[in-house]
Structures are given as structure tokens and as C-alpha cells.
Structure 1
Amino acid sequence: MVYTRTGFLKVSLSKGDKLYSTRRKPMLTLTEDTTRGVHDIIWSACDAERYRMQGYDGYHDNCTDNMHKLLREAPKENFPDFHITDDWVPDPLNLFMNVAIDHRGQLDIRVPTSEKGQFVVLKAESDLIIVTSSCPQDMAPVNGGQPTDCDHRRRRRVKVALSFDFDAVSHWLGTGCHPNNNMADYSSGIFAGQVGAVRLLTLLKKHGISDKVTWFSPGHTIETFPETARAVVDSGAEVGLHGYSHEGIYQMTEEQETEVLLKCIDAATKLVGKKPRRYRAPMYTIRESTVKLLRQYEFLYDSSLVHHDSQPYFTPADPPIKPIDFSQPASSWLQPTPIASQCYPEGMHALVEIPCGWYNEDMMLLQYLPHLANSNGYVSTRVRGSGSADFDFIFPILMHPDTSGMAHVIGMAERVVLWLKGWGEDVEFCTHEQIAGSWSKEKKNGKGGR
């Protein structure tokens, strides 16, 4: 804290103040403070010798040893080895510690002014490793005689799961198949493969998020538009499967479904250079056999269901829900539907679900599909944002090169990106795999059941 003290010419931190390193670089800013604003930056961290000097017989927990112990035991894959020796003395920030300088120039430790439930918010100004220790001092008034555990929480962030379903011509072959489809319909698919996708790639690169998004590409698109498919990979984006010809699940037998999945795995592997682990069902048409296949081929996640609309969860092994047969007695359907648990699936492959649905996408609102009754295509492209919350959640947004790549719509796509980026550190763009991987690891390690 030496450069913080000399920079501010005071011995206590206040809201808006920055903490500086020994290289005079800003490390942290105190952005919010619900206390009376007494936070010491002069008192040294206690150690075992400090307690012996106070007359304590034996070993007493202390902040210096707490820090060294944590750094020694921290997972090496998460923290570098700083080669900090046990005799290294930390210069701490003592949050909530009430230290005054009296009229004789002596330091006076007083009872803290903070109360239970009060907190501070610190904003990191650089990459940091922060070690916190609840002060165990019970031989001075620093804790009011009552050492208390301290809770620290990182600032909650909204994870934006921005994805693109690169349907192109495949849409018109599978779920969009219709006897009246003609050259004009297929032409819009060619536009998506040759123009719309390229425009979106340019937009994403412009705003520095091209490697923080996910493209779900049908096998037909990968093989029909190889140059654009390669450009997606070269942008750093994640690539997931999305059927071959955008097949609806009930357009196929289970045998055909397996054949299609294997073909798509092969096409994506040749494109990306490794076996894909990501999947979204065309038009969100998915059934129990699909989930079984994704588990069998060890996919990391699926993004087709909405058991929750803004949190990941483990894809449940729900039994088929059967429609009512009204030709039978009412007693045949007067019973509840069994719903499987979304907890960690013991004994089977853990398939994560990243939610996405009709209300997260652009196509139904902004593209006219002549043979689909509920498409629009003429609604306003003005977008308004309502804000973010103080807790972690996933914000899934789905765009299509067929739709958002059009000249009159891409401006809307850019406004959405700018609106999200405008929230600063409250928002983080992530690939679906980043979200699914970190969430699955947390749950596997026992941090919550869902």
C-alpha cells in the first residue's frame, strides 16, 4: 500500500480511490461502499510473532500464514508459481479496519464502524490474484472482540451466448421443405451462404467478438459453401452441428437420424480438425433418441431445449410424453407426467443444456418465409434494451445469416452488439462451449446440484 498512501496522502481508503502497485500501476478501484468509509491502508498483516509479542502462548491463526498457505495449496493449473517465500511480508488492504492517528502521532486501533451485512465493491483494473483473510485478531479491538468470517463475491456477469444458425439452402430442403419452393426461395439460401454470413463475420470482427460466438452449421452448408465455412473457422468462432439438410426430427427414422449425425460429425471434423462436441437441433426438433445419441458420442452440450430459459442445466433423461388419446376413457390420461431430475446424471454421460428458443431469435420476426404461416418479415428492426441483473445468467441470442445478414437488418444486429457491449464489465461474450465447460466442471466438483 506504500504508493497508495503516498499518492493520496492519507491512511484510509475512500469510495473512488484506487490502489496502486509497487510499480505505481492501478490495481483496484473502490467503486461502492455501504459502510462509513473507514478502511485502513497502513497496518501490517499480523503473523505468529505478533501474537507471541502480545503474550499468546502457542500458535495463533494469522493473516500472513493464511495467505502463504492458500498460495501453496492453490491449484497450479489456475495460479502461476510466484516463488513467494514464507518470509515474504504482505502489505495489505485492511477493509473495515478502523485505525486512527491520534494527536500525538500514535496509531490507535478502534472498534470497527462497519456493521453486519455492509459491503464494499472493488473493481479490478488489471489481472490480479487476490487473497482474502478474515482477520482472526481477538487480542485487540480491531474486530470488536468478535472475529467474524468474511464473504467475498466476484461481480456477477451476464454471459452472452451469441450464436448463428448457418442454415443457408439446407433450410429449404429439410424443415422448410414445401412443394411450392422455387428458385427465389433457394436464392435466399444462397445469399446466406455467400453474402449474409460474410457480412456478419465482418461485423463480429469489427467489434472484437468473432472468437466469442458459436456457429451451428448444417453439414450441407459446410459442404456447399466451403469457403464461407472455412472463414467461420478462421475467425476463431466455435462450430457446432445443426443437422445435415436441416432435417426435422420426425421427418426421419431413428436409423436415418443416426446416419445423419455420423455424416455431420465427419463433415465438421474435416472442417475444424477435431471431433465436434456441440449440437443444436434444426428448428429445435429433438426427441429422446437424439439425446441418447448425443450422450453416446460424448457431446458436451445441446442447445435445443428450454427447461430453463437463462441458466444451463444437465439435459434430463425425460421419458417420452405421450399425447392424449381421446378415444380412450378419461382415466387413461388423468395422471401426472413424470419429469426427470436435472441434477448431475450419475452413471451416464453428462450432457449440458444451453437454453435457446423461439423468443431468442431473429428469423420469425424479421424474415418472410412464404410457406410458413407464423413468419413476419416486416416488423420494425428497432431494438430496445431493458437492462441487466445482479446475478449470473445466460443471455442466449440467435441470429441467422439468412435474416440478420440482410442489408436492412444488419444494422439492427450491430445495435444489439453495441447495446450489450455498452454494459461494460457486466457483460461477457462467451462461446457455448466456454459456458457449458465451466458450468459442468463446477457442478461435477460439487458446487450445486443443477
Structure 2
Amino acid sequence: MIGSRPPSVHGRLRPFFLPTLLLVLVPLLSLPSCRPDPQAVLTTVRDVALANADTTRHGRPVQLHGIVTYYDPAWQMLFVQDSTGGLYINPQGTDFPLRSGHYVEVTGRTGTADLGLVKPQLRVLEETSLPPAVEVSIAHLAGFNEISQWVEVAGIVRTATITDNRLVLEIDDGKDRLLIRVLDFSGMDPATLVDAEVRVRGVCALLFDADWNVAGVQVFSPSLDQVTIEKPAPPPREGLTLADLHTTPPDGHRIRVRGTVRAVETETAFILEDDTGTIPVETVAAWLVRPGDRVEVLGFPEGLPGQRTLQDATLEVLRAAPLETMAPARGDLPLLTTVAAVRALPATEAERGYPGKAGSRGNPPRAGAGGQPGQERVPGQHEPRDPHAHERCPRHDRARPRHRPDCRTARIP
């Protein structure tokens, strides 16, 4: 008909739209609510991590299965991993009969990250192998990308000490450094690991300072079974002058040089010189040296050409400096002639630099903090100043990092 509008598409579809919509909606309306059940049991590490991060979801029941990757009851540290990630669990005083490699059932309730689970209970189902480790660089770990995850990392051992009955390694991959703590190291001499190329498997965790601020990451390894020596420590390079050190590219391994102590900066740092030049030295522990001492130094060269330093060094005193080279005694302070007199000094007096002369070998006692004298030094010996220095990792003792484990779980995609 002329002048009339043709029926619209909507008009043509309207008779079919309502019945079709009803056919779709009626079944949906009969379904139970699609909202997650707040009491549904969480069965994976990833689900627990998401719930722990949301305070409104604390208290959710948990029942998951995983492999114990690290367990240290003395430090209240337990890590469990399943196919979705790793989880830190604070045992909260319970001494579980567990070890790495146990396949366990974990129950409890979600809570704050520093606990992992509230009132956790673990039941050993069987003994199995540890999960495949994620091969990563130290820089990747430093980005907090694998927290609580079972990882594998490689590098050259720069220091190896025994601290708190645990083997503490510091490894270097040429770019970054990482602290590693090995729980079971029975029969291992730490000195044999220094300068070796190793590959270590363990759990990545946060490293805290004395104020519980995050200072980086560290790796906890359950035993020496997880430490593979790829290349034993090579013989140190020798025959180089200090001038050679400033021009020879470092290869990541140690060198041995001889020289004379030119100046002492701190108890772990001094300037070494020979006929060709000087180089700063940083030792792994406090050493009792003084200007004029002839020493042999074993350390790792680092730095730009012309600005090299020897780091993580140990030394041996070959010839002690004559006593006449020591600073003249202050006239306003009495001469201390016995070790007992040095020990009797109050802490406030011990720092004043009292002159002293005692000992059967003619070396004066040196008063330190708290009135404790330095160890008597004999030419040819290379004892550290602190008799327990070999049990510590001095580079990290300066910041006194806590060994509190990571409180977060593995990365959540």
C-alpha cells in the first residue's frame, strides 16, 4: 500500500522473542546461587593464597595434598608445594614427624600470611620425590617472583660458614649474590666449597633485617643432597702483582697475592701494597693486622680496571710489623701490661686506645669494645680476631638479618 511503512525486523521477531527468553531464564532461575560457598573446602595452594590475601575469607576450611619441600622445626618453618605453587606454614609449636619428600594431607583454616594456616594438621600419606625445581637466575629470585617455590639456582661459592648449626653459603653468578642456608650438612667442611661452582635446589623465601623489613631473598635447602658441585674450586691464580690485578679481567675465581698492609680502615678492610701499586681488601671476618704486616691474601677480585678490590678475602700474616711501627702511646693513659688489666676495662674506657705491652711473644694486648683484648698474633699464623668468626657470615651479620621465613605463597598468576 502506497505511503504505509513495511513492518520492522523487531516487529517480525517479537512473537518469537518472549517464548525463547523464557526457555533460557526458567532453567537458570531453578539453579542454586552461583556465588561461591563461603564454607567450601579449599583444596589447592593457589586457592589458599588467594583466601589468605583477603581478610574477608579468613577462616575458610582447607584440605589439600602436597609435598614437603622444607621442614625445620627449630625455626618453625614448613613449606608444602602442590601443582599450583608453594605455601609457607607456621607449625605453631607442633613438632610434626616430617621430612622433605613426604607427601602429606594438610588441613586447617585460612588466616594471616605469617601463619599460612590456622591450627594446621598434617598427615603423611607416603614418601615420594621432591618436585621438579624451577631453574632461575639470582636476579629473577630478587624480583620476589618465586616466593615459597622450589627452585634451582647456580653460582660460585664466595663464602661458606657454619651459623646456628646450619651451613650458610653465599653464591655469586657474576651479576648478583644470594644467601643459601643448608639444614643438614653432616660431614661437610665449609672451606672445601669456597670458590666451587655449584647448583643448589631449595625453597625461596624472604630475608628480613633486624627491624623485620624485607632485605631481599634467600634460599633454604634441606640437605647437601640438594647441593651439586659442578666444578670443584680451582687452584687460585698466583704470580700476579697488584698492578696486574687492576688490568687482568676477573674470571670469578680467587687469586693469591702478597704485599704489605699499608693502612687499616676497619677490622674487615685494609689497604694492601706492593712495589707496583695498592689495592683495597675486604675480608670475610675480622682480622688482627696492622700497618707494616707482611701478608698473603686469598680473595676474589672485583671492580672496574684500575678500581679493583679483593673481596671475601682470607689472609695469612707472613711477617709481623715491628712494634716500633705502632702509633706512639698516649701520655695521658696508663700502660696496660697484663691481659687481665685489659679485660677489666669498662666498655666506655675500652675505646680510648690505651697503650699496652704484654704476652710472651711481645705483642701488646689491644682493647676492643667491652674491654676484650684482641687475640695474640704470631707470625705465620692466620687466626681471625674473633675465635667464632668462622661460624658467622660477616657480610650479612652487619645488617643482622633475621631468619624469619617467607610469609607469602608462590606467585599467583
Higher relative contact order (CA 8 A, sep 6+): 1
TM-score, normalised via structure 2 length: 0.21
TM-score, normalised via structure 1 length: 0.19
Give 1 or 2: higher strand fraction: 2
- The structure whose Rg is larger is 2
Give 1 or 2: higher helix fraction: 1
